Amino acid sequence: MNPQSTLPPTPAALPPKTGDPSAPAGPGPKGPRSEVRFFAGLGHVALAVWAVIVIVPILWTFLAAFKNTSEIFSSPWTLPAELRWENFGRAWTKAHVGRYFLNSVIVVSCSTFLTMLLGAMAAYVLARYKFWGNRAIYFLFVSGLAFPVFLALVPLFFVVKNLGLLDTHTGVVLVYTAYSLPFTVFFLAAFFKTLPSSVAEAGMIDGCGHSRLFFQVMMPMAKPGLISVAIFNIIGQWAQYQLPLVLLSNAKDKWVLTQGIADISVNAGYEADWSGLFAALTIAILPMIIVYAVFQRQIQAGLTSGAVK
């Protein structure tokens, strides 16, 4: 019998605020209480340890970004002797992180915009209009969820090449959009189905055309769903590595951030510029922390939206 469910909690019955796995187990009669304490204590330690495991590598990278190479080797765990901002300058211009960053921003903003526009249009029509072939087109889109990108990699490379889009941002944007459509259509079609049809009917009676109804009535109503999918797509497309690796291989000035950082890490070995690499990593990670800190709730909801029915 758990005393906490029947008695008002006494201070002793509360789980300790700080973890202490070695807390002695109480004597016999207090069994359940000590079990709670032990469990909570152990849990706190485990949680704190995992938090440290997550934070320390990132924090360590930020610190190393201010060090010089000899410091990185002699004292990897100490604070930098001085703040060497020039490491960031070197990473930004000489290692072209600035360029890569800008490329990523351009590509992902274009492709997410296009994904949302085309995905919402297709999903809306498939969800709310009856016509011949509706189901077939819907399943065509959804079947894309089951195929690994690697199956299509070789033919995709030649399709893009034959269209003259190899080593261009246009090609990458179109490919990102195409591969984002299955999930976007799948999710948004389900969302558009839940919207009440009374509003749409009222709009129709007022003489609203099909496209005006979509852009001015349905899109604003679908805003929560659109935001979730947009976040899902932004983060997914920002993280892409294999597609740009194949599609932009010969145009180094068009590379995206993931590609660029991976390349810098290879070159850092030859040039022994470890601090530059740490600075480059910091430039890649820090903006994500800021964005995550601001939109934490929306990002968690957006990324898990695929898994929650």
Partner 1 sequence: MRHGKYPFVIGFLFAPVALYVTFVIWPYAQAFQISMTNWRGLSAPQWVGFDNYRRLLDDGAFWKAVQHHGVLLLALPLITIAIALFFAFLLNVGGKSSGGQRQGVWGAKFYRVVFFFPQVLAVAIIAVLFQMVYRPNESGLINGVLMKFGLEPVLFLIKPNLALWSIIAVLVWQAVGFYVVLFSAGMASIPGEIYEAAEMDGATKVTLFFRVTLPLLWDTLQVAWVYLGIAAFDAFAIVAVLSVDGGGPDGATTVLAMEIYRNAFVYSKYGYASAMGVALFFLTLTFAALTLRLTKRESVEY
Residue numbers 175-204 binding partner 1 by CB under 8 A: 175, 177-179, 181-182, 185, 204
Q: Which is nearer to partner 1, 6 or 22 (CB)?
A: 6
Secondary structure of 203-228 in the HEC alphabet?
Answer: HHHCCCCHHHHHHHHHHHHCHHHHHH
- Of 95-134, binders to partner 1 (CB under 8 A) are 118-119, 121-122, 124-126, 129, 131
210 binds partner 1 (CB under 8 A): yes
Q: State the number of binding residues for partner 1 (CB under 8 A).
A: 107
Q: Which pair of structure tokens corresponds to residue 309?
A: 């029915």
Under DSSP, is residue 235 helix (H, G, I), strand (E, B) or coil?
helix
Task: Please name the helix (run of DSSP H) or strand (run of DSSP E) that holds residue 248, with its range, or none.
Answer: none
Q: Which residues contact 10 (CB under 8 A, 6 or more apart)?
A: none
Residue 18 exposed, middle or buried by CB count within 10 Å (0-12, 13-18, 19+) = exposed
Q: Are 80 and 66 in contact (CB under 8 A)?
A: yes
Q: Which is nearer to partner 1, 22 or 250 (CB)?
A: 250
Q: How many CA atoms lie within 13 A of 24 on its CB side?
A: 3
What is the nearest approach in angstroms of partner 1 to the Cβ of residue 180? 10
- Of 235-274, binders to partner 1 (CB under 8 A) are 235, 238-242, 245-246, 249, 257-259, 261-262, 264-265, 274
What is the nearest approach in angstroms of partner 1 to the Cβ of residue 174? 6
Backbone angles phi, psi at 149, to 5 degrees: -55, -30
What is the nearest approach in angstroms of partner 1 to the Cβ of residue 269? 10
Q: What is the DSSP letter of 144?
A: G
Q: What is the DSSP letter of 12?
A: G
What is the nearest approach in angstroms of partner 1 to the Cβ of residue 246? 7
Q: Which is nearer to partner 1, 193 or 210 (CB)?
A: 210
What is the nearest approach in angstroms of partner 1 to the Cβ of residue 222? 15
Chain mean position to CA 57 = 19
What is the nearest approach in angstroms of partner 1 to the Cβ of residue 75? 8
Q: Which is nearer to partner 1, 132 or 196 (CB)?
A: 132
Chain mean position to CA 42 = 31
Pick the binder of partner 1 from 56, 79, 81, 199 (CB under 8 A).
Answer: 56
In 3-state terms the chain splits into helix, strand, coil percentages (rounded to 5) of 75, 0, 25
Q: Which pair of structure tokens corresponds to residue 180?
A: 């984002």
- Of 268-287, binders to partner 1 (CB under 8 A) are 274, 277-278, 281, 284-285
Q: Which pair of structure tokens corresponds to residue 216?
A: 């001015």
Question: Considering only 95-103, 105-113, 220-228, 295-303, which stretch makes contact with partner 1 by CB under 8 A?
Answer: 295-303
Q: Are 112 and 234 in contact (CB under 8 A)?
A: yes
- Of 136-155, binders to partner 1 (CB under 8 A) are 137, 140-141, 144, 146-148, 150-155
What is the nearest approach in angstroms of partner 1 to the Cβ of residue 24? 18
Tell me the per-residue interface mask from 7 to 46 with partner 1, x by CB under 8 A, - otherwise: --x---xxx-x--------------x--xx--xx--xx-x
* CB burial readout 55-67, b (16+ within 10 A) else e: eeeeeebbbbbbb
Tell me the per-residue interface mask from 58 to 97 with partner 1, x by CB under 8 A, - otherwise: x-xx--x-------xxx-xx--------------------
What is the nearest approach in angstroms of partner 1 to the Cβ of residue 13? 8
